[in-house]
Amino acid sequence: MNAAAWLISLPLASSPLIYLVGRLPLESRRAARWQIAWALSLAVLAGMWAVFAAAARDLAALPAAPAAVPALTVEVGALSLRINGLSLFTAALVLGISTLTVIFSGVGVLGKGGAEKYFAMILATSGAMIGMACAADLFNLWLWFEAMMIASLMLVAFAYDRPAALDAAIKYLVQNVVGSLLALMGIALVLGSAGSLRLDAVLDEAASPALLAAGALFILGFGVKCALVPLHTWLPDVYTHAPIGTAALFSGAITVSGLIAMLRALAPLGGAAEVWGSLLLGFGGLNIVAGNLLALRQKELRRLLAYSSISHIGFMLLALGVALYSHETAAAQAGLFHLINHSVMKALAFLTIGGGLYSLGMDADRPMPFRHLRGLGRSSPLAALALTLAILSLAGLPPLAGFISKWQVFEAGMASGSQAAGALTLFAALNTLLSLAYYLPVVMLLFADAPADRIAMRRPLPRLMQIPLLLLLALILLFGILPDLARLLTDPASTALLGGFGGMDTLTNLNLNGGSLWQIFY
Partner 1 sequence: MIIDMYAAGIAAVFGLLGIGLYGLMTLRNLIKVILSLQIIGKAAVLAVVVAGSISGEIAVAQSMAASVIVADTLVAVIGLALAVQMQRCHGSLDLRTLSMKFHTPPEAENGG
Q: Which residues bind partner 1 (CB under 8 A)?
A: 139, 143, 146-147, 150, 153-154, 157, 160-164, 166-167, 169-170, 173-174, 177-178, 181, 184-185, 187-189, 191-195, 197, 240, 299-300, 303, 357, 360, 362-363, 366-369, 371-372
Q: How far apart are CA 444 and CA 473, in angstroms?
A: 20
Least separation, in Å, of the C-beta of 236 and partner 1?
11
Q: Which helix (H) or strand (E) segment is 79 a member of?
A: strand 79-83
| Helix, strand, coil abundance in the chain, percent, nearest 5 | 75, 5, 20
Least separation, in Å, of the C-beta of 151 and partner 1?
10
Q: Which is nearer to partner 1, 54 or 166 (CB)?
A: 166
User: CB–CB of 105/351 below 8 Å?
Assistant: no
Least separation, in Å, of the C-beta of 167 and partner 1?
5
Q: Which is nearer to partner 1, 37 or 169 (CB)?
A: 169
Least separation, in Å, of the C-beta of 47 and partner 1?
27
Q: Which is nearer to partner 1, 300 or 484 (CB)?
A: 300
Q: How many CB atoms lie within 10 A of CB 323?
A: 29
The dihedral sign for the CA sequence 486, 489, 492, 496: negative
Least separation, in Å, of the C-beta of 107 and partner 1?
18
> 478: Cβ–Cβ under 8 A, 6 or more apart, which residues?
401, 485
Q: How far apart are CA 103 and CA 238, in angstroms?
A: 21
Q: How far apart are CA 353 and CA 372, in angstroms?
A: 10
Least separation, in Å, of the C-beta of 453 and partner 1?
13
Q: How far apart are CA 239 and CA 249, in angstroms?
A: 10
The dihedral sign for the CA sequence 392, 398, 399, 405: positive
User: CB–CB of 131/147 below 8 Å?
Assistant: yes
Could you give the residue ranges of the DSSP H alpha helices within 24-135? 33-61, 85-104, 115-134
Least separation, in Å, of the C-beta of 263 and partner 1?
22
User: CB–CB of 234/165 below 8 Å?
Assistant: no
Q: How far apart are CA 224 and CA 175, in angstroms?
A: 7
> 451: Cβ–Cβ under 8 A, 6 or more apart, which residues?
375
Q: Which is nearer to partner 1, 177 or 481 (CB)?
A: 177
User: CB–CB of 344/472 below 8 Å?
Assistant: yes
Per DSSP, the three-state class of 76 is strand
Least separation, in Å, of the C-beta of 446 and partner 1?
17
Q: Which is nearer to partner 1, 200 or 484 (CB)?
A: 200
Q: Which is nearer to partner 1, 128 or 476 (CB)?
A: 128
Q: Which is nearer to partner 1, 57 or 371 (CB)?
A: 371
Q: Which is nearer to partner 1, 25 or 195 (CB)?
A: 195
Least separation, in Å, of the C-beta of 1 and partner 1?
22
Q: Which is nearer to partner 1, 72 or 189 (CB)?
A: 189
Q: Which is nearer to partner 1, 154 or 272 (CB)?
A: 154
- The whole-angstrom distance between residue 270's C-alpha and the CA centroid of its chain comes to 24
Q: How far apart are CA 232 and CA 224, in angstroms?
A: 6
Least separation, in Å, of the C-beta of 239 and partner 1?
12
Q: How far apart are CA 496 and CA 487, in angstroms?
A: 13
